[in-house]
Amino acid sequence: MGRKVTKAIFPVAGLGTRFLPTTKSIPKEMLSLVDKPLIQYAIDEARAAGIKEFIFVTSRGKGSLEDYFDHAHELESSLKKAGKEELLEILRATNMESGAIAYIRQHKALGLGHAVWCARRLLSDDEPFAVVLTDDVIQGEPPCLQQMIEAYGETGGSMVATMEVAADKASSYGVLDVAEDMGAIVRAKGMVEKPKAGTQPSNLAVIGRYILAPTVMKNLNKLKQGAGGEIQLTDAIAEEIQAGRDVFGLRFRGQRFDCGSKAGFLQATVAFGLERDELKDEFADYLHQVMAMRRAAE
């Protein structure tokens, strides 16, 4: 049985170059999927999983992301006066408890592992923690991180979210080397970051949800000292396996969208738009029309 996980790290210090020019002045995490910024989807998922403390690893130019979590008192009172209860509820759902959020700066984008390491002083030595990449937006019931917390309750160790990918896509991900396949959960005997085409140990790709043992932070400490280039989180997790500690992959139930890429973001917009009661009929009609016109033009 693993210890309860109550803290999550959200590394949001990347440059988001794939969304230039927008990301010149707007952090990628503030891009809106239908009407909510990516960061809100991540927060909602973490809250559902029982996370109480939210640690953002930010960088220059992320001011609007920090401001987003301030309570909007003026807006709330004018909505209240106008009797706009529904909007007020939407707004209040974004309010965070005082002291629940911490911001830490990553001064240089030295990699995901480095970003996670920047939060080390906000965790105690024996505390497991979650890492959530806001680029990966997941439709799932229960939400993906909650599925992981439940599975981790039985396994302990460290756990990564995994999904099956086509062989020609594996080189874009961290990939698990599977020791034991127990169905939804697999035990890993290795993990490689972006394997060269054809060398991937399995078709199980790691996506942006992690529950990590405190020893992973210690591994990052060592990598930090020895590092030249980017500090990879994958290497720190792989080191757990080499040291004989458990690392599991969970085949989560749900659909993941890579909102760090333009194509993934557009797909997520369609999927989340079609989920909304107030939008789905009009939006579905429009999509049908577009497809019919495309087919007619072919």
Choice from 2, 37, 111, 143 touching ligand UTP (CB under 6 A)? 111
Residue 115 binds ligand UTP, judged by CB under 6 A:
yes
Check residue 16 for interaction with ligand UTP (CB under 6 A): yes
Residues 6+ apart with CB under 8 A from 235: 113, 193, 219, 223
Cβ proximity to ligand UTP, 79 vs 170, nearer residue: 170
Mapping DSSP onto H, E and C, the string for the chain reads CCCCCCEEEEECCCCCHHHCCHHHCCCHHHCEECCEEHHHHHHHHHHHCCCCEEEEEECCCCHHHHHHCCCCHHHHHHHHHCCCHHHHHHHHCCCCCCCCEEEEECCCCCCHHHHHHCCHHHCCCCCCEEEECCCEEEECCCCHHHHHHHHHHHHCCEEEEEEECCHHHHHHCEEEEEEEECCCEEEEEEEEECCCCCCCCCCEEEEEEEEECHHHHHHHHHHHHHCCCCCCHHHHHHHHHHCCCCEEEEECCCEEEECCCHHHHHHHHHHHHHHCCCCHHHHHHHHHHHHHHHHHHC
Residue 227 binding ligand UTP, by CB under 6 A: no
Which window, 10-18, 153-161, 195-203, 220-228, contacts ligand UTP (CB under 6 A)? Answer: 10-18
Is 110 among the residues that bind ligand UTP (CB under 6 A)?
Answer: yes
Tell me the backbone φ, ψ of residue 216, rounded to 5 degrees.
-65, -35
Options 109, 122, 271, 274; binder of ligand UTP; rule CB under 6 A: 109
- Contact between 15 and ligand UTP per CB under 6 A: yes
Q: Which of these segments, 15-23, 97-105, 122-130, 246-254, binds ligand UTP (CB under 6 A)?
A: 15-23
Which member of 5, 54, 135, 143 binds ligand UTP (CB under 6 A)? Answer: 135
Among 14, 128, 157, 273, binds ligand UTP (CB under 6 A): 14
- Quote the distance between the C-alpha of residue 176 and its chain's center: 18
The token pair that represents 267 in the structure block = 């797909």
Minimum distance from residue 267 beta carbon to ligand UTP (Å): 16
**CA 204 → CA 141, 174, 212, distances in Å?**
21, 9, 18
Using CB under 6 A as the binding rule, whether residue 224 contacts ligand UTP is answered as no
112 vs 220, which CB is nearer to ligand UTP?
112
102 binds ligand UTP (CB under 6 A): no
Single out the residue of 5, 8, 9, 13 in contact with ligand UTP (rule: CB under 6 A).
13
> Between 39 and 238, whose beta carbon lies closer to ligand UTP?
39
Count, residues near ligand UTP per rule CB under 6 A: 21
Among 90-98, 127-135, 182-190, 248-256, the segment contacting ligand UTP (CB under 6 A):
127-135
CA distance 194 to 208: 14
- Stretch 248-287 residues interacting with ligand UTP (CB under 6 A): 260
Which residue of this chain has its Cβ atom nearest to ligand UTP in the complex? 14
- Based on the shown chain and the rule CB under 6 A, indicate whether residue 229 belongs to the binding site for ligand UTP: no
106 binds ligand UTP (CB under 6 A): yes
* Shortest spacing between CB 102 and ligand UTP, in angstroms: 15
Q: Which residues bind ligand UTP (CB under 6 A)?
A: 11-18, 28, 57, 106, 109-112, 114-115, 133-135, 260
